């Protein structure tokens, strides 16, 4: 009886990212029920409810969420079991802390908090209250990264030697309606986009042990070209060009580069390669749930060198790689998959994948980039990490494994 008793969720923050959560909670994930929404800007909460009503009119089986006047009304609603925190990164701590203090389990957008002090306090509070806490990203649970993980776990590239990944773009002020927060405390490309890459790295390679990096801001101000703040300027607080190396417990080294300062074709901004003793794998954009996963083994390298057809003309960057079919479910934008998995854990008592131990380890890695640059030294990590379970293919889409 998997969906007889869905977990009741309240959404705090109905901004830009809320649309995909509203869609997936209402139409895809059958074990989660959105019973209320809340935003500092009441029209956003109203718009969220309207969106859910449209899915219901189109056939979705879901309640119409109520609107809470503020987050405390949601936290005091005895029906609410889980708080879904979709506020801005510098607000995560305050919202998550208050929700935990009111006895609610929390699933938060990334990152866990804006810095390690806040993260450490939240970890202690969740433990003390014996509440579940987890959060984004959940893209690593999608078909793409799960297939990449299986390629590694099945030994197809041998032992992992290292990785390189880059997220190169010229910043979100061209499309985000309120891009300010992306340059403030808790923002910047490493805290905003880094979670996708670093979470995928620890899922693929395992526990990290340290970070060395150099970081800077190339521009003191950014000009907003999206509506409704077109023409306004943002004072940049967070570093926006960060490059460094993460060392892992198994000896692997990952080069990581994230920036909001560089012009780059949008379809190319994610680069992610894993090198093993027996081959190389191209990992899909970790901000997506899909593929492609590409594999090159020594015999493929030999083929590229000997086949003149592969050497002439404009070689596509990944000529010579073989595409691995995706072996798991959830290959489109399935945000709320991690929430649904946590809700399943709440009902069954099993572990869940996008848990706070992972978020906390990732937060320490992310924040160590600026710290290493400032202090001019290698930063050994203090947090520990054990990979969460791989996904299982439940035949019922929208229902997680028991």
Ligand X SMILES: NC(=O)c1ccc[n+]([C@@H]2O[C@H](COP(=O)([O-])OP(=O)(O)OC[C@H]3O[C@@H](n4cnc5c(N)ncnc54)[C@H](O)[C@@H]3O)[C@@H](O)[C@H]2O)c1
Binding site for ligand X (CB under 6 A): 12-17, 38-41, 44, 71, 86-89, 91, 95, 109-110, 176, 178, 192
Residue with the shortest CB distance to ligand X:
15
Q: Which is nearer to ligand X, 18 or 280 (CB)?
A: 18
**Cα dihedral angle (84, 190, 266, 233), rounded to 10 degrees?**
90
Q: Which is nearer to ligand X, 13 or 162 (CB)?
A: 13
Shortest Cβ 344–ligand X spacing (Å): 22
HEC readout, 35-82: EEEECCCHHHHHHHHHHHHHHHHCCCCCCCCEECCCHHHHHCCCCCCE
* Closest C-alpha among 205, 219, 169, 159 to residue 190: 169
Q: Which is nearer to ligand X, 10 or 165 (CB)?
A: 10
Q: Which is nearer to ligand X, 92 or 152 (CB)?
A: 92
Q: Which is nearer to ligand X, 7 or 86 (CB)?
A: 86
* Closest C-alpha among 280, 271, 323, 282 to residue 299: 280
Residues in the chain: 402
Contact by Cβ (8 Å): 232, 221 = no
Shortest Cβ 345–ligand X spacing (Å): 22
Shortest Cβ 44–ligand X spacing (Å): 5
Helices 194-205 and 143-153, axial angle in degrees (round to 10): 30
**Tokens matching residue 284:** 């899909």
Shortest Cβ 315–ligand X spacing (Å): 33
Shortest Cβ 248–ligand X spacing (Å): 25
Count CB atoms within 10 A of the CB of residue 382: 10
Q: Which is nearer to ligand X, 178 or 300 (CB)?
A: 178
From edge to edge, which strands make up the β-sheet containing 7-12?
Answer: 66-67, 32-38, 7-12, 82-85, 105-108, 133-135
**Close Cβ partners of 193 (under 8 Å, ≥ 6 residues apart):** 167, 258, 287
Q: Which is nearer to ligand X, 3 or 333 (CB)?
A: 333
Shortest Cβ 130–ligand X spacing (Å): 24
Shortest Cβ 1–ligand X spacing (Å): 32
Contact by Cβ (8 Å): 94, 12 = no
SS3 244: strand
Kind and range of the H or E run holding 119? helix 116-129
Question: Whole-angstrom Cα distance, residue 205 to residue 208?
Answer: 8
Q: Which is nearer to ligand X, 203 or 359 (CB)?
A: 359
């Amino acid at each position: 009886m998997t969906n007889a008793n869905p977990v009741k969720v309240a959404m705090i923050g109905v901004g830009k990212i809320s649309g995909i959560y509203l869609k997936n909670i209402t139409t895809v994930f059958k074990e989660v029920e959105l019973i209320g929404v809340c935003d500092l800007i009441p029209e956003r909460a109203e718009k969220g409810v309207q969106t859910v009503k449209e899915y219901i009119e189109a056939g979705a089986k879901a309640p119409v969420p109520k609107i809470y006047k503020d987050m405390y009304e949601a936290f005091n609603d005895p029906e609410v079991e889980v708080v879904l925190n979709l506020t801005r990164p510098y607000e995560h701590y305050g919202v998550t802390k208050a929700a935990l203090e009111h006895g609610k389990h929390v699933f938060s957008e990334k990152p866990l908090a804006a810095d390690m002090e806040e993260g450490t306090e939240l970890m202690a509070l969740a433990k003390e209250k014996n509440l579940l806490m987890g959060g984004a990203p959940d893209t690593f649970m999608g078909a793409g990264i799960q297939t990449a993980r299986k390629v590694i776990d099945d030994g197809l590239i041998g032992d992992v030697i290292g990785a390189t990944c880059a997220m190169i773009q010229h910043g979100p002020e061209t499309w985000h309606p309120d891009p300010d927060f992306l340059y403030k405390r808790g923002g910047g490309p490493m805290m905003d986009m880094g979670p996708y890459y670093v979470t995928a790295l620890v899922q693929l390679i395992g526990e990290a042990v340290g970070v060395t990096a150099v970081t800077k801001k190339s521009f003191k101000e950014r000009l907003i070209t999206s509506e409704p703040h077109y023409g306004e300027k943002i004072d940049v607080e967070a570093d926006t060009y960060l490059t460094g190396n993460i060392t892992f417990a198994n000896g692997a080294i990952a080069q990581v580069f994230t920036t909001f300062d560089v012009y780059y074709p949008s379809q190319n901004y994610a680069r992610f390669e894993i090198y093993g003793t027996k081959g190389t794998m191209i990992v899909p954009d970790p901000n997506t749930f899909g593929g492609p996963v590409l594999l090159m083994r020594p015999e493929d390298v030999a083929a590229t060198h000997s086949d003149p057809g592969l050497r002439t003309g404009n070689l596509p960057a990944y000529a010579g790689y073989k595409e691995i079919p995706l072996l798991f479910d959830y290959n489109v934008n399935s945000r709320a998959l991690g929430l649904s998995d946590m809700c399943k854990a709440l009902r069954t008592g099993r572990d869940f994948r996008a848990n706070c131990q992972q978020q906390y380890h990732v937060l320490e890695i992310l924040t160590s980039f600026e710290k290493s640059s400032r202090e001019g030294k290698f930063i050994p990590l203090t947090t520990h990490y054990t990979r969460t379970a791989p996904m299982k293919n439940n035949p019922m889409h929208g229902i997680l494994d028991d």
